Amino acid sequence: MSETTMPGPAAEPRLRPPRHPSDPRAVGWWRTQALLIAVPAAAVPAVGGWLLPGAWGTWALAAAAVLAVLGAVYAAVMPVWRHRVHRWEVTDEAVYTATGWLWQEWRIAPMSRVQTVDTVRGPVQRRFGLSSVTVTTASAAGAVRIDGLDHALARELVRRLTETAQAAPGDAT
């Protein structure tokens, strides 16, 4: 008997914490994404502050300073926190994920419900050698996504998920 199943003929996976963390490089990827949002958000009012006369310019510079501080805190804290929370695991029975950094979510997708498996690599992910794996299921909750995986590991995971899902009994509906 596997530790992820209950005894009996109709064994079903049970919700439990997944074992594997995201790749440590995911911290840099998430930080870069945060900075790609925060820097322009602070730069626009900063430029306006230099161009606008009087009080308008002062208010725009103040807004830029607030946005810069908030963006720096977000870029410093969020990636590390997400890395501590994000977990994943794939067994012969199911895909397990734990995600979020403020709103945390645990998901389990039984292999019999897997419909498609996709790999995503954006330009920033490629720079860090990372990929995301999306497992689409027959669920109203939507796809299960595993972010921050080493690209080679993601390729192997997609292969394994595809083989395991094809071998699982059921019609994924």
Question: In this predicted model, what pLDDT tens digit does every residue of 48-88 receive, in sequence order?
Answer: 999 998 999 999 999 999 999 999 999 999 999 999 999 99
- pLDDT over 70 at 5, yes or no: no
What are residue 13's DSSP bridge partners? 5
Confidence band (pLDDT; 50, 70, 90) for 3? very low
d(CA 166, CA 120): 21
Long-range contacts, stretch 158-166, CB < 8 angstroms, 24+ apart: 158/117, 158/118, 158/119, 158/133, 160/90, 161/90, 161/95, 161/114, 161/117, 161/133, 161/135, 162/117, 164/90, 164/92, 164/111, 165/111, 165/114, 165/117
Which tokens in the block code for residue 162? 């595809």
- pLDDT over 80 at 96, yes or no: yes
Averaged pLDDT score across all residues of the chain: 88
CB-based contact 14:6 (threshold 8 Å) = yes
Which range, 9-13, 152-156, 161-165, is most confident? 152-156
Share of the chain above pLDDT 70, in %: 88
Could you tell me the residue ranges of all domains in the chain? 29-81, 87-167
| Mean pLDDT of all residues in 129-148 | 92
pTM: 0.82
Region 87-167: CATH code: 2.30.29
Q: For position 80, what pLDDT does the model report?
A: 95
